[in-house]
Amino acid sequence: MLTETVNPADGSLSVRIQVPVPKGRGLTLPFSFAYDSNGIHYPGATTNGVMYWGTDITPGYEQGGWRYTAPYLNSQPISISSPACTYFINYILLTPSGARHALYLSAWQYYGYCSTNPNAGIQYLTGGDDYFQATSAPNNAVTAADADGTVYRFSGAYGFASSVEDRNGNEVTLSATQGPPYGFTMTDTAGRAVVSASSFGASGGDTISVSGLPSHYAVHWGTASYNYTPGWAYAYTDGYCNPMVYANGSTPVVTSITLPNSQSYQFHYDATYGLVDEIIFPRAGG
């Protein structure tokens, strides 16, 4: 069940391979293998204004534009010294449908010294967009709720949701390893382990098991290289315009996904930008 969408405004590609998750009592979270070409490479700047190219690598959840769509919270830590202080900005909620939502939160790390550091960022402990409203607690736990009253709970400023609960009290829970191999299990309202991932981005491949299917999905990883120079400049802190730094390197990517019926999707990448430029579908009839 692969769907692909190309944004006519900028040519960005979104791919979703839907997984048939069995129905739970009242609440069922969708799950898919997702690829989005926008945001893989993005410009950043150091504190003194030097530009660089960043990539979308989030250990355990996202790299090369690929991710598994269990609910996840991402944020960016900013560290300052004298006294030591870390605060989180750029909170992004990634939903089971594969959508991204900016929560517009900013919070001090609860065990730092931000309250006594004059350079600490301003806290915004409530925020959201047109679809979600969120709050950050003093221990950096985050709660986000959509318009239907479904609540996503996170134990910190980033990581997989600990639970998702609808307004009738039906709850899906998640457990995940915080380090390699970054596996996770999603347990539904009936107590079944409906989706279990052995890892994310493992060199030997990932195994994703789904309750009710006779076999598992196998995700195989490789690398895609990119090498290009944007045709624009940036304003440096000295008041001069300088050429944008070139983007050069490689990123981990999914090369194929084998389905429970042993058929597979294969993905090829162009050599300039390292983006998907060809998808080979499973053969009809086996």
Asked if pLDDT for residue 268 goes beyond 80, the answer is yes
pLDDT value of residue 57: 82
**pLDDT of 47 strictly over 70:** no
Mean of per-residue pLDDT scores for the chain: 91
Task: Give φ, ψ of 85 to 5 degrees.
Answer: -150, 135
The whole-number pLDDT of residue 239 equals: 59
- Is the pLDDT at 237 greater than 70? The verdict is no
The domain of 136 spans 71-160
Query: Which of 5-19, 53-67, 243-257 has maximum average pLDDT?
Result: 5-19
Residue 140 lies in a domain: yes
Q: What confidence score (pLDDT) does residue 266 get?
A: 97
Is 22:211 a contact under the CB 8 Å cutoff?
Answer: yes
Q: What does 101-151 look like in DSSP terms, one character per residue?
A: EE---BEE-TTS-GGG-TTPPPPB-EEE-SSEEEEE-TTS-EEEEETT--E
Confidence band (pLDDT; 50, 70, 90) for 6? very high
Within-domain flag for 19: no
pLDDT band at 241; cut points 50, 70, 90: low
Domains: count for the chain: 1
206 lies in some domain:
no
**155 or 57: which leads in pLDDT:** 155
Q: Does residue 280 belong to any structural domain of this protein?
A: no
Domain membership of residue 56 (yes or no) is no
pLDDT for res 42: 80
Nearest to 110 by CA among 68, 138, 71, 130: 138
Segment 233-250 shows an average pLDDT of 68
> pLDDT confidence of 179, banded at 50, 70, 90?
confident
pLDDT in tens, 60-107: 899 999 999 999 999 989 888 889 999 999 999 999 988 999 999 999
Percent of the chain with pLDDT over 90: 74
Q: Which of 184, 188, 186 has the alpha carbon at shortest distance from 176? A: 184
The pLDDT of residue 119 is 87
Does some domain include residue 86?
yes
Mean pLDDT within 151-169: 97
**CB contact set of 237 (below 8 Å; sequence gap of 6+):** 48, 49
pLDDT above 80 for 44: no
Residue 13 has pLDDT above 90, yes or no: yes
Task: Select the more confidently predicted residue: 10 or 188.
Answer: 188
pTM of the model: 0.89
Integer Cα distance of 251 and 228 in angstroms: 14
Look at 61-75, 146-160, 237-251 and tell me which has the smallest mean pLDDT.
237-251
Whether 172 maps to a domain, the answer reads no
On whether residue 220 sits in a domain, the answer given is: no
Task: Report whether pLDDT(1) > 90.
Answer: no
* pLDDT tens digits along 181-232: 999 999 999 999 999 999 999 999 999 999 999 999 999 999 999 998 876 6
